[in-house]
Chain A
Amino acid sequence: MSTESHRPSFLQRYIFSTDHKVIGIQFLFTSLFMLLFGGLLAMLIRWQLGWPGHPLAFMEKIAPEGMPGGIMVPEYYNMLFTMHGSIMIFFAIIPLLVGVFGNYLIPLKIGAGDMAFPRLNMISYWMMPPAIAIVCAGFFLQGGAAAAGWTAYAPLSTTLGPGQVCWIVAIIVLGTSSIMGAVNYVTTIINLRAPGMSFFRLPLSIWALFITAIMVLLATPVLASALILLLLDCTAGTSFFLPAGLIIDGIAQHNSGGQVLLWQHLFWFYSHPAVYIMILPAMGIASEILPVFSRKPLFGYHSMVYAIIGIAGLGFLVWAHHMFASGMNPTLGTSFMISTMIIAVPSAIKTFNWLGTLWRGSIRLTTPMLHALGFVSMFVIGGLTGIFAAATPVDLYIHDTYFIVGHLHYVLFGGSLFGIFAGITFWFPKMFGRMLNETLGKLHFALTFAFFNAVMFPMFILGIAGMPRRIYDYTQYAHLAHVGGLNRMMSVAAFCLLASQLLFIINFFWSLFRGKPAGDNPWQANTLEWATSSPPPHGNFTVTPTVYRGPYEYSVPGHAKDWLPQHDPLPSPGGH
């Protein structure tokens, strides 16, 4: 590597760096900031749901049009949940899981010096800030930012103002960034593995990121094309999604021949795989952390790999389960119900194997382990509640109610976000060379876990009571007159949930400068990233490591230590 030949300038080193570790950390700071922003939007949503129509005085200065006198208007509410969903999914969770962990971990864990295409990698990060600028520009435009839901269903999305156009353009830019990242991950994993690192010696997190990258490559171009069609419908007068005879605001439109449901099919053809793009890497992280802190090999390595491949394959065949009530042919409903039931099987296999990993382990409840266990226990709820939505007749009732909002938050917060917290707390010592504070970390986990459940679990009950989602003022409905108390309780818990994140922020920045020095391998783990210094030098390894065994050889009988690193040349008794 070129560290000896020339000293890179500050700009080359930290801003326009082609080092995968710097790019991963850039993604980390950017997407954590967006996570906080998305969380703040959620607080405004919870304010309106807890106390409909009550003024929030300071908001008048921030959003004089959206909250005149501090009282929220319906358009502003629609914008809030649209932007909350879009920012969390496209600008926080996907970049955190794929951008951060994909970039940071892949070369280190396969024993490579960097990505296959470092410059492409840098560009993939540098498309994110412009995308953020474009999507947020909507807040300052006439009519505000996008307000058609994160699903942007046509024709509604084509009737809204310039904020919606910004949203479409930003997602296209971000999709391009994802595609560039994915090309890089796939190429790197196939070509740059260290000697001895066969596919079935890859750590589960790398398997998960590999399959995720393939899903991104197959699904994201479909979203990009659909968005371009929607953009044309919005701006160029085309009719891809607009049928003849529309009368909008009393004005007859001149469209003809478009299909409204086509948008939904194309959108969900991307967005259902996207759900797995948001959960597979978190599953990989959990599969990585559970063996380390159980001091035990991962239970059923091969079935875990096949389950990931199964989920990814089936993930492309379930998209229309979002459309059971859409007016699509009911026979299609049956086939998508069946494929959705089938996809529950590999998810169950993964859960049981995680339990199998804990069985007869020697469990250490460190902060990353607690988050990984939080992931397993909450993902179970997310998965099981999905079965209600898969049962087509039940979905006719719970579709578009708070039941679905609860379900998706158990998958994306309980699942993805606990996985993200597990990953950040686990690899923080490697990224920054210092340990996080364990007491603060555990307190953060405990409060997050408790308040998360207090906000999200009652959503199932609201959904069962028939409360529709995306409703600015549910007190309009007589049949929802009695849900105010529960909603207020949830709102208080949501504010506490956000406040608890202060502990994480304090811990993060304090430890960045004052944390205990980590050493190379603070968790006594086996995979290759722990074989180099913390943080690793440019080029990662001074000598390319050779891999002798699988990644989870813990508590090997007859071995003095209870871990046996992948690059340790000792003969492996009974390992694979």
Chain B
Amino acid sequence: MLTVVLRLAAAVTVWLAAAAAAWADATPGVRIWLPEAITTTAPEIDRLFYCVLVITGIAFVLVEATLLVFLIRYRARPGRSATYTHGNSLVEIIWTVLPACLLLVLALRSQRVWARVRGTPPTPQLEVEITAEQFAWNIRYAGADGTFNTADDITTVNQLHLPVQKTVLIRLKSKDVIHSFFVPQFRMKQDAVPGLTTHVWISATKTGHYEIACAELCGLGHYRMRGYLTIETSEAFQAWLAQTLAEQQT
């Protein structure tokens, strides 16, 4: 019976090794792990992620190792019988209170980050309105007058440009079904719900080209409801706005 367990362990190890190999060099130089974090709040979410990873990782190793040790040490052998016990109140209290304390710490840490990313947003320097539909992101900037739904609004489809190091408030709406605005590098996902206006605020720390994914099943074209995000300097952003407005008016 022990041989079954050992064979099992060997099989699992081989598969984990294969998985690790596939993970490490699917494409040379690119690891399958968290993408880069490009907003002011993303690193805070990553720190919380690693905090949970460490706590659950330790719990995982302790529990599974104890299980294996017990299975080997207390396997049935002639001449030895099991200990007759119904439990122990003290250990019950210990293993109730200890996880409760750890979870309390995690709850407090979660709440601190949650209040920052989902609480009242800071005063925005730019507002953008995104109306999702099957299967595209309609993006609208207020233009020079700072008011939406006027003649100088700038609209694009699937092309979101944002300035770096500016607080941006994105308002999300939907025409038809639920969609979800997901930029992995923002560590942020927010559903666009018909009948509601939801919002996301970010302040980007890095320029570059990224992708917007729809993360809520929205129908047959859900998989290709992809948008393109460009984070650029304020000057480049203003130039792009002016150019897009000019193209729109011709």
Instruction: List A residues at the B interface (Cβ < 8 Å).
Output: 73-75, 78, 147-149, 153, 155-156, 159, 242-249, 258-261, 294-303, 325-327, 330, 333-334, 337-338, 341-342, 344-345, 348-349, 351-353, 355-356, 358-365, 370, 373, 376-377, 380-381, 384-385, 387-388, 390-394, 396-397, 399-401, 442, 446-447, 449-451, 453-454, 457-458, 461-462, 464-466, 468, 470-474, 476-479, 481-486, 488-489, 493, 552, 554-557, 562, 574, 576
Q: Which residue of A lies closest to B218 (CB)?
A: A156
Q: Does B182 contact A (CB under 8 A)?
A: yes
**Do the beta carbons of A349 and B5 come within 8 Å of each other?**
no
* Residues 112 to 168 of chain B near chain A (Cβ within 8 Å): 113-114, 117-119, 133-134
Q: Does B242 contact A (CB under 8 A)?
A: no
1/0 per residue, CB under 8 A from A, across B193-231: the answer is: 111101000000000001101111111111110100000
Complex partner residue of B11 from A385, A450, A486, CB under 8 angstroms? A450
Q: Does B240 contact A (CB under 8 A)?
A: no
Contacts of B110 in A (CB 8 A): 337, 390-394
**Do the beta carbons of A400 and B180 come within 8 Å of each other?**
yes
Complex partner residue of B63 from A258, A355, A359, CB under 8 angstroms? A355
Complex partner residue of A245 from B44, B96, B195, CB under 8 angstroms? B195
Contacts of A387 in B (CB 8 A): 52, 55-56, 103, 106
**Do the beta carbons of B222 and A470 come within 8 Å of each other?**
yes
Complex partner residue of B226 from A156, A352, A476, A552, CB under 8 angstroms? A476
Could you tell me the distance in whole angstroms from the C-beta of B61 to the nearest C-beta in chain A?
Answer: 10
Could you tell me the distance in whole angstroms from the C-beta of B155 to the nearest C-beta in chain A?
Answer: 17
1/0 per residue, CB under 8 A from A, across B5-26: the answer is: 1011001100110110011001
**Do the beta carbons of B48 and A360 come within 8 Å of each other?**
no
Q: Which residue of A lies closest to B188 (CB)?
A: A396
Contacts of A393 in B (CB 8 A): 44-45, 48, 110, 113-114, 117-118, 187
Q: Which residue of A lies closest to B190 (CB)?
A: A325
Contacts of B216 in A (CB 8 A): 153, 400
| Distance between Cα atoms of A240 and B181 in the complex (Å) | 25
Contacts of A341 in B (CB 8 A): 103-104, 106-107
| Distance between Cα atoms of A461 and B106 in the complex (Å) | 22
**Do the beta carbons of B191 and A486 come within 8 Å of each other?**
no
Contacts of A365 in B (CB 8 A): 1-2, 4-5, 71, 75
**Do the beta carbons of B113 and A485 come within 8 Å of each other?**
no
With A153-B216, A260-B195, A363-B74 known as contacts, the answer to whether A376 contacts B107 (CB < 8 A) is no
Could you tell me the distance in whole angstroms from the C-beta of A399 to the nearest C-beta in chain B?
Answer: 6
Contacts of A330 in B (CB 8 A): 114, 118-119
**Do the beta carbons of B26 and A485 come within 8 Å of each other?**
yes
Q: Which residue of A lies closest to B7 (CB)?
A: A446
**Do the beta carbons of B84 and A78 come within 8 Å of each other?**
no
Contacts of A300 in B (CB 8 A): 86-88, 92
Q: Which residue of A lies closest to B120 (CB)?
A: A330
| Distance between Cα atoms of A398 and B175 in the complex (Å) | 25
Top 8 A-B pairs, shortest CB-CB distance: A243-B195, A466-B184, A300-B87, A360-B83, A330-B118, A485-B26, A454-B15, A327-B198
With A397-B49, A465-B35, A562-B81 known as contacts, the answer to whether A377 contacts B67 (CB < 8 A) is yes
**Do the beta carbons of B191 and A327 come within 8 Å of each other?**
yes
Q: Does B236 contact A (CB under 8 A)?
A: no
Q: Does B66 contact A (CB under 8 A)?
A: yes
Could you tell me the distance in whole angstroms from the C-beta of B78 to the nearest C-beta in chain A?
Answer: 10
1/0 per residue, CB under 8 A from A, across B76-116: the answer is: 11001111111110011001100110011011011101100
Contacts of A554 in B (CB 8 A): 82, 84
**Do the beta carbons of A149 and B217 come within 8 Å of each other?**
yes
Best-buried of A245, A365, A394, A449 by chain B (most CB within 10 Å): A394
Could you tell me the distance in whole angstroms from the C-beta of A528 to the nearest C-beta in chain B?
Answer: 20
Complex partner residue of B67 from A258, A342, A358, A562, CB under 8 angstroms? A358
**Do the beta carbons of B74 and A246 come within 8 Å of each other?**
no
**Do the beta carbons of B32 and A486 come within 8 Å of each other?**
yes
Contacts of A302 in B (CB 8 A): 87
Q: Which residue of A lies closest to B4 (CB)?
A: A442
| Distance between Cα atoms of A457 and B12 in the complex (Å) | 11
**Do the beta carbons of B34 and A464 come within 8 Å of each other?**
yes
27 pairs from A and B in contact (CB 8 Å cutoff): A78-B217, A147-B220, A248-B176, A260-B178, A294-B82, A295-B82, A325-B191, A341-B106, A348-B99, A349-B92, A349-B96, A359-B70, A360-B74, A363-B70, A394-B48, A396-B189, A397-B184, A450-B11, A453-B16, A454-B15, A454-B19, A461-B32, A476-B223, A479-B35, A484-B26, A555-B81, A562-B81
